[in-house]
Amino acid sequence: MTTDNITTERTGLPVTASAARDVVRDLLGSHDRLAGPSTMLTDALLVTSELVTNAVRHGGGVASFSARLHGEDVLCITVADHSPELPRATPPARDFAPGGYGWPLVQRLCEVVTVTPSVAGKTVHAHLRLM
């Protein structure tokens, strides 16, 4: 059922990146033409993992989470956390140490990424074109 061009939405409070990926996988799998392995699915799960992991590691935990399809070709992922500190890219270490890759990947893969600060923390909105 479509309302205001939003076809489906899943919300909840996943506390791990894995749980958030399950929500997105379920959402995309509910649409036959979006189901199954694909680069689009991989990108959607990667963006989801990065946003939730950043909220857990740097933002004091996930305050809210939603994933929705806008129309049939844009996945909108929203993650709020408890820190007012804005995300920033950290240059990766020369010795290939972990860290510094996620936020630039999110920005590269998504068509739109916005961060809205609030008194309670911040909310990151990421829109990923699926087609």
Q: What is the pLDDT of residues 28-56, one digit of tens each?
A: 887 765 655 688 899 999 999 999 999 99
The mean of the pLDDT values for the chain is 84
More confident residue, 131 or 85: 85
Fold of the 6-129 domain: Heat Shock Protein 90 (3.30.565)
Of 17-26, 30-39, 83-92, which gets the smallest average pLDDT? 30-39
pTM here?
0.84
Tallying the residues shown for the chain, one arrives at: 131
Domain ranges of the chain: 6-129
Using the predicted structure, report yes or no on whether residue 97 has a pLDDT greater than 70. Answer: no
Please give the Cα distance from 119 to 36 (Å, whole number). 40
Which is nearest to 130 in space by CA: 8, 44, 59, 51? 44
* Residue written as token pair 């991989």: 42
Using the predicted structure, report yes or no on whether residue 84 has a pLDDT greater than 60. Answer: yes
Residue 1 DSSP code:
-
Positive or negative: CA dihedral 57, 59, 60, 64: negative
